[in-house]
Structure 1
Amino acid sequence: MKRTAIAAATLLATISIPANAQDMTAPDYPETRRGDVVETIFGEKVADPYRWLEDDVRNNPDVADWVERQNAVTDAYLENLPARDWFASRIGELTDYERFSVPVARGDRYFYSRNSGLQNQSPLYVRDGLEGEPRLLIDPNEWADDGATALGGWVPSPDGTKLLYSVQDGGTDWRIVRVLDVATGEHIGGEIRWVKFSGLSWVGEEGFLYSRFPEPEEGEDFQALNTNQAVYYHALGTDQASDQLVYATPDFPERNHSAGTSDDGRWAIVTSSTGTDSRYEVHMIDLAARDTLGWQARPLVSGFENSWSMIESVGSRLFFVTNHEAPLYRILSIDMDNAAAGWTEVLAEKDQPIAGAGMVGGHLIVEYLEDASSSAYVYTLGGELVREIEFAGLGSAGGFGGSPDNAETFYAFSSFNRPSTIYRYDVTTGESTVFASPEVTFSPDDFVVEQRFYESRDGTRVPMFIVRRADVAARAEAVPTLLYGYGGFDVSLSPGFSASRLAWVEAGGAYVLANIRGGGEYGKAWHDGGRRANKQNVFDDFIAAGEFLMAEGVTPESGLAIQGGSNGGLLVGAVVNQRPDLFAAGNAAVGVMDMLRFDQWTAGRYWVDDYGHPDREDDWRILRAYSPYHNIQRGMDYPALLVTTADTDDRVVPGHSFKYTAALQEADLGERPQLIRIETRAGHGSGKPTDKAIAEAADILSFFGHWTGLEVEE
């Protein structure tokens, strides 16, 4: 397939090192012991010399010592970056604004989180009535001296008198669940433990449904595979040991189960999956018949073939969003009193994928993605269009929860240059009014957000968003550019506000978000086009984005930095191996770097839906071909790389990043540094304290700035 002119010209080139970067070349790395592990897999010998770094840092003193020595070298290097203090200061200033979550109304109360600006965690507030005085209900900043214990999910009871919430400590995916009396602030009953990847749903006012795993063996909390998830019912005032088993599949330990309840309390919905794909089985429990039938789960959808997400119920009629015979999704309904009659189409598939749907005030509110930007429409329950909800340009909207019997709902809207504003929306009148709007230290009009489309290697048209200062865009000058991507698991990236990325743009750089294949921006086909045997398309799309930015004069050839987290960390590792000449710097954050063993730990077994099975030869050969850890090009000039991870990441265990970094440092990759930054008391990302997030962002951006030639005027 024909490449662009810039790609052909730079295919074998080496990125020049900016003159001011000569004194910041690779330091002396800590010595890393090489093991002698070599395995023969499908006839090929595969060395894994750093397998010992897979061990939990808490349980292996050698790993703990390695982490300490690596952090010492990295910290000393980062301290000398000239723009580090400027970025830390400016990111802090841009972060220091009021942030609200979308309110949840129950009874006559409104619940929402609010961060005054630089609080490490966002406290939860409640109002009695929409105009009531806000009252602090939970302040997670009081839970830990280091600010690393966070408020997880929370759900008010139907009448608003109680609050069900979870606690996340140190970034782990494990949650501790508690119940609070809203009036008194006192806890009701004890704690629920070993909860992970769980919904929380009230059953009346007397108890709730949750999902949990069996308690791990001692010392295996952060590494053992997660299997045998089950749904339980907890009655308030009882011990967890007496909780009732609601739904489990012991003969199929790989299946996951999550439960929800309808707004009217009539139905419990158990949704089961086998991995990360949106392919579900659905069982219904008639809560009105629980006294006679118990937790009898009635199968509604079988086969793990399609996505099914319940919107809400009206009496015996249930409404679902599904991609059954509709890759871009549609809305169907079924009458449980006459289920044999089958499904009825309420809203047909359109040209854009459905991103979400809610039922409010006897209407459906349906969110779509139109070229990766949000749009939303109001329909009758019969599927007739009422109106479009108008947003302020290209951006992301979310929320639209509520009750089928109440016309009030709330939503948030944000964009690259606009932090979230919270709106109250009246479905009857179509009027949006501001509930909470932040005051910021910049003018959104000083920045330009544009969307462009470029051609990937196989001719596929791919969108990207480009954010620059208005004066930079007007001059059309090539500036250091930060390119971000993800490309996996049906995850759609849309415009949203980031204080750190705006600081990069304020400093004169460009920020680019590429909507590469593997995501859900264009429905099932876009996802399928970037996974398993098609995973190389993801890397080709990202590489083509970099080539396009150079060809269009957005960035100079020595000015492109790349960033991605989790599956995006894999993306960075893979494209750096494939095109080390194209990038000046990179940040692979909490990445999946060993594609031959990812399924050995915690949630890794779920990812076979996107990556394939390492124990199957056809899949293994695909994984072997791009695995970042196994495909480092020894002796090549590599970009400057800063790998970031955390000691409590039990989603993508830090051993991935440890092994990858050790291999980089041993491979003689030129003058630019290959460093790792390992956060303590942090996990995969959620719950990270504000101060740690600012410090990490300042380190990354000053590292990028130095190696792309971004000159910050302090």
Structure 2
Amino acid sequence: MLTAFASHARSHVFAFVTVPTITRRLRINILRQSPLSSSLLLNETFSNRPNSVSRRCYCSSSAIMGSSSVFGEQLQYPATRRDDSVVDDYHGVKIGDPYRWLEDPDAEEVKEFVQSQVKLTDSVLEKCETKEKLRQNITKLIDHPRYDSPFRQGDKYFYFHNTGLQAQSVLYMQDNLDAEPEVLLDPNTLSDDGTVALNTFSVSEDAKYLAYGLSSSGSDWVTIKLMKIEDKKVEPDTLSWVKFTGITWTHDSKGFFYGRYPAPKEGEDIDAGTETNSNLYHELYYHFIGTDQSQDILCWRDNENPKYMFGAEVTDDGKYLIMSIGESCDPVNKLYYCDMTSLSGGLESFRGSSSFLPFIKLVDTFDAQYSVISNDETLFTFLTNKDAPKYKLVRVDLKEPNSWTDVVEEHEKDVLASACAVNGNHLVACYMSDVKHILQIRDLKSGSLLHQLPLDIGSVSDVSARRKDNTFFFSFTSFLTPGVIYKCDLANESPEVKVFREVTVPGFDREAFQAIQVFYPSKDGTKIPMFIVAKKDIKLDGSHPCLLYAYGGFNISITPSFSASRIVLSKHLGVVFCFANIRGGGEYGEEWHKAGSLAKKQNCFDDFISGAEYLVSAGYTQPSKLCIEGGSNGGLLVGACINQASLYSQ
């Protein structure tokens, strides 16, 4: 789907193709030229540490209302079959779905459709005379070392590192922060074509074992493997049919909890990774190292609620297993716990048993979200949005489960994004204030504010802390800061914050660019924040090509981050990049999220359209130079907003 930064100088030959399309394809090709990689994505800020739960979907709709010609030639799009016989009847209202046949990814007709679209796109990109120059400049900026915050387990430190163009970051370990690091696991060596990725991982409490999950070709299905850290020997343990899960070790390091789905019955033909049906009856298991998966303990399953999914977490003291239960993307969950010290014979006594673990229901309704922060025996601290759409910290004694007290009350404007315990009775609290992160040190017991750490305008991520350590690490980035990892020492009365590692990008001069935040009125008068990234001192004369991006859904916040490809396009083509924090996201808590959901979804579209109108009226661009982009939920956003065709490039 093509568009124009139209009329933006015919000398820029790629003017008829969206900038995001070009940069994504160039990144892919850059990676494919690297002998160690063939991945489709490259994190441009920090190293791409795998997540505990992977549910990624990207479906871009970039400025669809664009020119259908290239260099004067009319594009001939492949014919798409329309099946008008597919009609659904919803309570007497008939709705046609003529392209439902495209939902079967294994059908030959669908494969042919995809290939024809790829062929058309390639035919356009091949005519882009500036493509190679863009490739070279983007490669130079992307080719720099990136790191994640180190984390400690047992007597060792671990961290992820990417030398520059590696498709996946490599897991390193070292005896101390000054010791020579050594490679523990390099995902780039797991397949010849780079299609096997590290999806999730966990180091045992004694740092003797690494359990890690691998996925193939972008699938959510995971196979868990086990490595003995001392000699890096991969053990025979292999766990299949794993999906939407983390890995949580018990403190005796004898095994770990994980989530999976039932294996298909004999005769069922399931191609894990390309099937489009939903998965049902998620299960929580415990695996003893050195045993076959068939001997794993089934800890929990809910036959009456097939859509439930279960996540497990072991408390810092190793005594309690906390099980979180969810069934949707909504920020709500149930919370059960099991006192593992009360198990006569321990977990071993459940081998071969048909009984579930004796969980106790602490929260048994889907009316709020709860995340465990810490515990002292039966006294637990949770982060929750219960009666607090911007979140707060609460405390409950398991002996008195109906008595909950506030530790840190909800802020009137800022969102409490995360919290973790460190240095005994200290708390690291990360707030989002007008889409910018601030970091505070609080007293864990009283919740009182002790210190606020000095930070620039940007995003905090990857906070690495343990309650038994007096130091913690965190990553920071912004639109003009490639990445900094800070080390904070709380041993003394005043926190000591030092730069631990800093990412430098050759050829990038942050003084040549500017990043500002504006607040514009939406249709109903609501003030919407938006970041604008551009060359410094640009004239507001409407002459600049501009790309407007937003998401607006699922309580997800779009915070500042660094992108080498944006810098290249801004530097050489004068592109202005804009990020509208429209309703539906989580920038101002659950109320902001709900204000752009369901019956109020129109607010998302109004916010986005108002952002486009602001950029034109303020002189940043003009309709003929304005492009819009959104991925996944943002694809729906763009699909709706292109109906205002006069606002965008044509």
Band the TM-score falls in, shorter-chain normalisation: 0.7 to 0.9
- TM-score w.r.t. the length of structure 2 is 0.84
Match for residue 359 of structure 1? 421
Aligned to 2:300: 247
Q: Verify the 8 A CA contact 1:161 1:183 in the aligned structure 2.
A: yes
* 1:417 Cα offset (Å): 1.2
Q: Which of 474, 477, 482 is equivalent to 1:414?
A: 477
Quote how far apart the aligned CAs of 1:146 are: 2.2
Q: Aligned-pair distance for 1:404? A: 1.5
* Equivalent position of 1:185 in the other structure: 232
Residue matched to 1:668: none
Which SS does the other structure have where 1:313 is aligned? strand
Tell me if 1:307 matches 2:369: yes
Q: Deviations over 1:453-501 (max 9, x none)?
A: 00111111100001111142x6766411111110000001110112222
Match of 1:122 in 2: 169
Report the secondary structure of 2:119's partner residue: helix
1:641-674 CA-to-partner distances (Å, cap 9, x unmatched) read xxxxxxxxxxxxxxxxxxxxxxxxxxxxxxxxxx
Alpha-carbon distance in structure 2 between the residues aligned to 1:268 and 1:26: 62
On the 8 A contact 1:37/1:51 being kept in 2, the answer is: no
Counterpart residue identity of residue 499, structure 1: A
CA-to-aligned-CA distance 1:42-88 (integer Å, 9 cap, x gap): 333333222222112xx322222222222112111121123322322
Pair 26,88 (structure 1): closer, same or farther in 2 beyond 3 Å: farther
Q: How many angstroms apart in 2 are the aligned matches of 1:569 and 1:341? A: 43
Distance 2:345 2:368 in 1: 32
Partner residue in 1 for 2:44:
none
Deviation at 1:26, TM superposition (A): 4.5
In the alignment, which of 429, 432, 436 is matched to residue 373 of structure 1?
436
Q: 1:424 aligned to 2:487?
A: yes
Unaligned runs of 5+ in 1: 1-13, 585-638, 640-714
Does the Cα contact within 8 Å between 1:152 and 1:167 map onto a contact in 2? yes
Count of paired positions: 566
Equivalent residue number for residue 553 of structure 1? 619
For residues 279 and 469 of structure 1, the distance between their equivalents in structure 2, rounded to whole angstroms, comes to 42
Per the alignment, residue 451 of structure 1 pairs with 517
Residue 496 of structure 1 aligns with which residue? 561
Cα pair 1:15 1:557 within 8 Å, conserved: no
| Cα displacement string for residues 327-349 of structure 1 (whole angstroms, at most 9, x for unaligned residues) | 1111011222x224622211111
* Structure 2 CA distance for aligned equivalents of residues 16 and 460 of structure 1: 31
Q: What SS does structure 1 have at the residue aligned with 2:630?
A: strand
Distance 1:516 1:419 in 2: 25
**Residue aligning to 2:452:** 388
Distance 1:26 1:186 in 2: 58
Which deviates more from structure 2 when the two are superposed, residues 267-276 or residues 70-79? 70-79
Aligned to 1:279: 332
Match of 1:407, as an amino acid? Answer: N
Q: Following superposition of structure 1 onto structure 2, how do residues 295-694 of structure 1 map, counting pairs within 5 Å?
A: 295-336=357-398, 338-340=399-401, 342-351=403-412, 352-361=414-423, 362-381=425-444, 382-391=446-455, 393-429=456-492, 430-441=495-506, 442-472=508-538, 478-507=543-572, 508-576=574-642, 578-584=643-649, 639=650
Q: Distance in 2 between matches of 1:104 and 1:357?
A: 16
What is the CA-CA distance between 1:220 and the residue it aligns to? 4.7
Q: 2:84 aligns with which of 36, 58, 61?
A: 36
- Amino acid paired to 1:342: S
Among candidates 264, 289, 312, match of residue 317 of structure 2: 264
Report the Cα distance in structure 1 between the residues aligned to 2:362 and 2:402, rounded to whole angstroms: 13
Question: Is this contact kept in 1: 2:8–2:545, CA < 8 A?
Answer: no
- Per the normalisation by structure 1, the TM-score is 0.77
The answer to whether the Cα contact below 8 Å between 1:504 and 1:511 also exists between their aligned partners in 2 is: no
More helix by share: 1
User: 1:385-412 CA deviation, whole Å, 9 max, x = no partner?
Assistant: 1100111x21000233322121111100
- Using a 3 Å threshold, how does the CA distance of structure 1 residues 150 and 26 change in structure 2: closer, same or farther? farther
Per the alignment, in what secondary structure is the counterpart of residue 479 of structure 1?
A: coil
Distance 1:285 1:133 in 2: 41
**In 1, distance between residues paired with 2:467 and 2:339?**
19
Q: Deviation at 1:293?
A: 7.8
What SS does structure 1 have at the residue aligned with 2:136?
helix
Contact 2:144 2:163 in 1 (8 A): yes
What corresponds to 2:125 in structure 1? 78
For 1:689, the equivalent position in structure 2 comes to none
The one-letter code of the counterpart of 1:356 is S
Counterpart amino acid of 2:163?
S
Residues 211 and 458 of structure 1: CA distance in aligned 2, closer, same or farther (over 3 Å): same
SS of 1:69's partner is helix
Q: Is the 2:160–2:170 Cα contact (8 Å) retained in structure 1?
A: yes
Q: Is the 8 A contact 1:156 1:162 kept in 2?
A: yes
Which of 285, 310, 315 is matched with 1:232 structurally? 285
Q: Give the Cα–Cα distance (whole angstroms) in 1 for the partners of residues 238 and 161 of structure 2.
A: 25
Aligned to 1:208: 256
Structure 1 distance, partners of 2:584, 2:621, is 25
Structure 1 residues 306, 31: closer, same or farther in 2, change over 3 A?
same
Residue of structure 1 equivalent to 2:96: 47
**Is the Cα–Cα contact under 8 Å of residues 372 and 382 in structure 2 kept in the other structure?**
yes
The corresponding residue for 2:159 is 112
**Given the superposition, is the C-alpha separation of residues 425 and 252 from structure 1 closer, same or farther in structure 2, using an over 3 Å criterion?**
same
Contact 1:323–1:329 (8 Å) recurs in 2:
yes
Rounded to whole Å, the distance in 2 between the matches of 1:545 and 1:328 is: 25
Letter in 2 for 1:50: Y
Q: How far does residue 306 in structure 1 lie from its aligned partner after superposition?
A: 0.4
C-alpha displacement at 1:18, in angstroms?
Answer: 6.0
Q: In structure 2, what is the equivalent of residue 167 of structure 1?
A: 214
Give the partner amino acid of 1:489: F
Distance 1:180 1:455, change over 3 A: same
Once superposed, what is the RMSD of the aligned Cα atoms? 1.9
Q: Does the 8 Å contact 2:482/2:504 carry over to 1?
A: no
Question: Does the 8 A contact of 2:5 with 2:627 survive in 1?
Answer: no
Residue 250 of structure 1: CA displacement? Answer: 1.0
Q: Is the 8 A contact 2:460 2:475 kept in 1?
A: yes
- The percent identity for this pair of structures is 36
CA change 1:421–1:26 in 2 (3 A) is farther
- Following TM superposition, the consecutive aligned residue runs of length 4 or more in structure 1 with deviations greater than 4 angstroms are 14-19, 474-477
Partner SS, residue 623 of structure 2: coil
Q: Supply the distance in 2 between the matched residues of 1:482 and 1:340 (Cα, whole angstroms).
A: 51
